[in-house]
Structure 1
């Protein structure tokens, strides 16, 4: 059996999305900025995709900026707001468990003279709300907190954070990459000024994403050249992939509640099956404030590299954490922040599923982990 269990890293492109994209490549290939009929035809599809994204999140079409993905969206939002507002203050806030496309930007801004507060999290990966409340001052211009953590699946208490942000003048950016398709996100309901998404996390193509930006949010734009995206992000729009993003977004919200129930059932089945087989493990994160698609396990009997290799030999494809740190031996900064323990991070594996994952596949993964455990137990 072959099991792909690394959906938090990237998801297979859905067939309906591929068909929609191929239609654009074959027939609607004009430049959306051209004024001739082929250009106007392409513009129609671009505008429709923008409306689809806006409607999904209860945003306005002019609040959607198409980008190359979450990394660009995060960079654009954080740098754009920080540089625009730096004359009003240079204090910015994020958490210790953000994706590196957020953390590395804050680290760079810190080198440039910005004062950065990195919020702590507890052992479930939940942000310290009191620390956030105390940290915000009149000098704070930006707060960036991810909705769902990409390594452990913890969902941040966004309503509580929103109440705190509503009492400040700081702008609020949210990395919502892992939340799309799992949670209902109302861009107008929350005091979110900027929000990042990327298509390949919910059945769309790689290389395309979006930044949702509230109408009155100031931003110093980073990419100059043309007047695309209402002069906010220069460069010819990647029309086929943008249409693919919109199509995948629509599909991801169909039967979302049923899919979430299925994923939580799979998560429970996975943990129970490992327990029944007497495999020693601990869950990294929470079983309450979480999505069902990510399960991060501490397996004390084996190191990450060995486990990944042995699972791969059994045709089970998983990861140790963020795909953006693949190939490095650096322990997960997320688990370090949660537990203060490098050793735990060196023995933890992330499994991530989607609505197509079956109970049979889950049981197969548990069975192979059981085999590996007993092999190492016998050799010990």
Structure 2
């Protein structure tokens, strides 16, 4: 793996979504664990807004990231032409960047299709078109999601593209219909409109066979808190669907802890992977020159069923917290429990998401390896739910 680490010495990386859950972890690794030559970070709104988000996400590591003097912030927006960049900034990217990591997305499960299609499909295609003008680019990494295949029946899901139906509709025609009507006949087949949009983005990115650089798509499954980097339990609830779902379900007396198992397949594998293992998978495959589809799912960490996760969570919640929930004394101000419950029912399936292209990384330690040496998954999970329990019990009555 040392050869792959050294590969970063000559790389100038352009990172989108760098203040998001996975983006922060990627930025940390690129600046403090790898000898990356330079990182351009796209900031939406203002540089100060990005700095505030980064400091909130990794307060203890924040100064070290800035003191590396390898991060350059650029204000822009993936939804705008030319990324909304100043002409001088765009020229600098075009002349210097060798690697692009596109981790930007709107992962809201509530976003309707006509609003989700822009940030989760159109913006990616616009970026790809822009990259044709980058003179030094070698590799493009697009972060997708295993939910792109949530329309499939139970069974094995390989690292490949699957057609939406037996008649294999043209993704361009499906996208055109969405743009003209705001609707699609395929929406209800997915766990959320977001997943359909990401599916179309994958299809349309890989359809462009004449790209002058390597194209890699990494599909993480549900992302969980970090086991090591930038620190244990790093991660925000918005970027961790399992944590958000259980938090909202556990604080709604109409669903609550007594209802979690009803209507959900407790024997299904709950496919979740720590965010830092996803980041390592992305960076290892970039350095290896991988192209096509790579999946980063729970089999690269520790497989657990929905029932096991739920039981561990309930055991970690303080009895007083459970009673408060049952008596209705704890309730979220925004009632998201019904939505999360329906999503959970769709997602808890008997899928076997294969990660064959990354299995070898489990044998390696270090920044690009996925070895679990020195890590106790059971103790980690127990501590995790104890942290969630404190948050639940600390909610004020409404």
TM-score of the superposed pair, with normalisation by structure 2 = 0.30
User: Higher relative CO (CA 8 A, sep ≥ 6), structure 1 or 2?
Assistant: 1
Q: TM-score, normalised by structure 1?
A: 0.31
Higher helix share: 2
